[in-house]
Structure 1
Amino acid sequence: MFRRGLIFLGILLLIAEIYTFQALKTVIKPRWAQWLYIAVSAGVIFYIFYSFASYDSRVGQTKKSLYTMALLLITLIPKLLIAIVMLGEDIVRIFTGTYSTVTGTRQGDFLPERRRFVSLMAIGVAAVPFLSMLYGITRGKYNFKVRRETLQFPDLPDNFDGFTIVQISDVHSGSLDNREKVEYAIDLINKEHKDVILFTGDIVNNVAEEMHPWIDTFKKIETPQFGKYSTLGNHDYGEYIELSPDAKAKNFEAIKALHGQIDFRLMLNENVKLKKGNQEIALVGVENWGHNFRKAGDLKKASEGLAKEDFKVLMSHDPSHWAYEVKDSDLNYHLTLSGHTHGMQFGIEIPGFIKWSPVQYVYKQWAGMYEHLGRYIYVNRGFGFHGYSGRTGIWPEITVITLKKA
């Protein structure tokens, strides 16, 4: 299957390269410049295929593989856009040639020459994602945004009016590579007025050792009055690399221990009561439950002792859990906090105008706040990054949610 994937990728790149070179050849006339482009492009493609061919599934994602994926995307996507524009011109050229032949008005070759304007337009169109992705790879992945939401509930206990939650998610410590930027994000968290901090999973990519260089950094997150709590994400089970059963079990225990090492209480299908005076709200934490991923979360077990009337905040890493089990539950979970999607680290968000990412075709709830019959879910866009070393349009996030009495 992996080999078939490489073959398909090779065909796709070949088509994109043919059209891209035709566009450049129309615009750039010096032969040496054309040959320089061929040499550079061939070198990049060779490196990409060499990196994929030497990928070790026993190790999983590494910083090298993350950068290789970023290089592939920044190479492939702009060239595919050029190919689409140039293909459109070819359709027009074929139609024009056919029409002129049938009507007897053709002069010269069957296909008219390519127009320089179309080639320039194709290159201009491709420049937008190229420059956007270049920014996303070099700076965007640490372009942290503090996003604020205020929610009103008629049944929120009076003492919790103004209660503030800070949420982070998807640290993916194995991908992080800039300590100064990460410490800046920690400072942003510490500057916020907050009553509790909640971390909704994916502390690593694959193994506990990825977090070891970052433990002292994340321990700097100050503990507010009501504490720091966390839960597990799909990557925290070590299932995306090849490990023996014994090594996998030890790795899982080590990953769970990481949460205590950065002063978070890891919640494993359980709940705690946060008390303020003579009133309380319930914080519920489930293990990962994903419609297409591991279903270790046990909502019934996690909610033992709770009644429908209790005000509840649920931590569940995968937002599909809310869609399939939570939003229509008779226990009435007021607010669910999730992550997981990262907003695919690629999309367009202009508040009030557009909010789009390819991931929305997989997850209905993929970034930000959603509501169903007075029950809410907030999907954090993620603190770190995974899959490729960059973010374009969907920036890393620190969420601040304030609960208000309606």
Structure 2
Amino acid sequence: MIFPNTFVVMLRWILFIIIYTVLGLYTLQALRTVTRHPWVHYLFIAISVLVLGNFIYQFTFGEAEGRVLSRPKSYAFGLLLTVLVFQLVTILFLFSEDIFRLVAAWYQKLSGSEKSFTLPERRRFISLLGLGLAAVPFGALLYGMYRGKYNFQVLRYSLEFDDLPDGFDGYQITQISDIHSGSFDNRKKIEYAVDLVNRQKSDVILFTGDMVNNKTEEMLPWAELFSSLEAKDGKFSVLGNHDYGDYIEWDTEESKRQNLEDLKSLQRQMGFDLLLNENRYLKKGADKIALIGVENWGRGGFKKAGDLKKATSQVAEDDFKILMSHDPSHWEDVVLKDGLHYHLTLSGHTHGMQFGIEIPGWVKWSPVKWRYKYWAGIYKEMGQYINVNRGFGFLGYPGRVGIWPEITVITLKKKSLT
């Protein structure tokens, strides 16, 4: 007997395989039009079948216990995405050509013309153009998996404030976010990135959540390395939505709670002062800044554990305030509307979708902008700033294209009166 849920899953797989096969056959038409070398056709078929077979295996029999996306599953998804993008871009051109040929055939039939309307050279040109353009995202996605995910960038900002305490003029903050240690697969690259953070020699290091994908154990191989992060005034952290272990099935609620407690303990062992709806004061002589950290608060089904009122219960209204909150929707929906003025909020979460186009001063685009108004970089509203860090690690697609892993360095400046 096949249970209803099993039947639905099987039906989805069958429909997916049919759609994938149709797209592949359509793309094969373009290859046959462009080249008559059979080995090219067979190579495309072999790659398509192997990628599909690996994807099906990893997401069925190859399921890794206790994870939503293991590394093999992540790469299986990435390779499938790469092939699908290649097929879809090619098909866009072939489909437009087929529409043209269909309209031309109807015209011939209605006009009674006996002359056959065929443009084989046009068909070959369209196929060549489609394949050529499809090769761009195909190559970019492969590069993103091979090199892009570890293409760490240091982004620097200087922000001026009228009421910055004098002792903090020139104060430097390094922000990192979304480590996602469960996705790492190259220790030398991570060692380089950690060293890059330390080389900034900032006054303080602030980590804005998502240390793991799901489980504390993911961070254990990397804990000693990240313990080497250092700054004069210490390093502080908050929790992100993935840190709570909400995205996997646990044997018991107690094991889930214990996982979270283990992560909190591990962060403290690594030297992070974890702020759980709390605040601390950074001091320079008689001057001070309120550093506020809330638990995750996210719009649209994400955990809302952040309690801004609790976190600021000991903070004065006229204090200069820096808020650490993982999800930028918290800033938009809650922080900006709060009675207190938060001079600078530091967030992450979006990853910039790990895909987009950025040319400083010219273009800044990612599909994630359709979900998050504030998705990467510095924004200013109502006299308050937010920086949305693009993330240190990666999740899902095991790479980055155009939106590179980020280490943010922010210098606070006292605004000149002249």
Q: Indicate whether the TM-score tops 0.5.
A: yes
Q: Note if 1:298 corresponds to 2:307.
A: yes
Q: Which residue of 2 aligns with 1:394?
A: 403
Structure 1 residue runs without a partner (length 5+): none
In 1, Cα distance between the equivalents of 2:239 and 2:12?
Answer: 31
Q: Which residue of 2 aligns with 1:307?
A: 316
Contact 2:64 2:70 in 1 (8 A): no
Match of 2:88 among 59, 62, 80: 80
Q: Which residue of 2 aligns with 1:40?
A: 47
Extract structure 1 runs of 4+ deviating beyond 6 A.
none
Contact 1:155 1:405 in 2 (8 A): yes
Contact 1:205 1:236 in 2 (8 A): yes
User: How far did 1:40 drift?
Assistant: 2.9
Report the TM-score when normalising by structure 1: 0.96
Match of 2:56 among 49, 67, 87: 49
Distance 1:161 1:85, change over 3 A: same
Q: Note if 1:227 corresponds to 2:234.
A: yes
User: How far did 1:65 drift?
Assistant: 1.2
Match of 1:139 among 119, 135, 147: 147
User: How far did 1:107 drift?
Assistant: 2.6
SS in 2 for 1:174: helix
Contact 2:145 2:400 in 1 (8 A): yes
Contact 1:97 1:112 in 2 (8 A): no
Q: Which amino acid aligns with 1:358?
A: P
Match of 2:354 among 328, 334, 345: 345
Q: Which amino acid aligns with 1:38?
A: I
User: How far did 1:32 drift?
Assistant: 4.1
In 1, Cα distance between the equivalents of 2:96 and 2:288?
Answer: 63
Q: Which residue of 2 aligns with 1:27?
A: 34
Match of 2:264 among 242, 247, 256: 256
Distance 1:2 1:391, change over 3 A: farther
Q: Which residue of 2 aligns with 1:327?
A: 336
User: How far did 1:8 drift?
Assistant: 5.2
In 2, Cα distance between the equivalents of 1:56 and 1:62?
Answer: 6
Q: Which amino acid aligns with 2:45?
A: I
Q: Which amino acid aligns with 1:29?
A: R
In 2, Cα distance between the equivalents of 1:121 and 1:106?
Answer: 31
Q: Which amino acid aligns with 1:310?
A: D
Distance 1:203 1:112, change over 3 A: same
Q: Which residue of 2 aligns with 1:14?
A: 21
User: How far did 1:106 drift?
Assistant: 4.5
Contact 1:57 1:242 in 2 (8 A): no
Contact 1:15 1:83 in 2 (8 A): no
Moved more, 26-35 or 361-370: 26-35
Contact 1:230 1:285 in 2 (8 A): yes
Distance 1:9 1:404, change over 3 A: farther
In 2, Cα distance between the equivalents of 1:294 and 1:25?
Answer: 51
In 2, Cα distance between the equivalents of 1:344 and 1:269?
Answer: 27
Distance 1:59 1:227, change over 3 A: same
In 2, Cα distance between the equivalents of 1:142 and 1:56?
Answer: 24
Distance 1:331 1:3, change over 3 A: farther
In 1, Cα distance between the equivalents of 2:320 and 2:394?
Answer: 33
In 2, Cα distance between the equivalents of 1:264 and 1:183?
Answer: 18
Q: Which residue of 2 aligns with 1:317?
A: 326
SS in 2 for 1:177: coil
RMSD between aligned residues: 1.6
SS in 2 for 1:126: helix
In 2, Cα distance between the equivalents of 1:274 and 1:50?
Answer: 52
Match of 1:149 among 139, 143, 157: 157
Identity %: 54
SS in 2 for 1:280: strand
User: How far did 1:388 drift?
Assistant: 1.7
Contact 2:55 2:73 in 1 (8 A): no
In 1, Cα distance between the equivalents of 2:343 and 2:234?
Answer: 20
SS in 2 for 1:376: strand
User: How far did 1:287 drift?
Assistant: 0.3
Contact 1:57 1:241 in 2 (8 A): no
> Residue deviations 1:32-79, cap 9 Å, x none?
432342233222212212222233574322111111111111111121
Q: Note if 1:60 corresponds to 2:68.
A: yes
Contact 2:51 2:76 in 1 (8 A): no
User: How far did 1:139 drift?
Assistant: 0.5
User: How far did 1:225 drift?
Assistant: 2.0
SS in 1 for 2:290: strand
Distance 1:294 1:86, change over 3 A: same
Distance 1:90 1:311, change over 3 A: same
In 2, Cα distance between the equivalents of 1:5 and 1:337?
Answer: 41
Q: Which residue of 2 aligns with 1:237?
A: 244
Contact 1:343 1:357 in 2 (8 A): yes
Number of matched pairs: 404
Report the TM-score when normalising by structure 2: 0.93
SS in 1 for 2:68: coil
Contact 2:165 2:288 in 1 (8 A): yes
Distance 1:221 1:269, change over 3 A: same
Q: Which amino acid aligns with 1:23?
A: A
SS in 2 for 1:387: coil
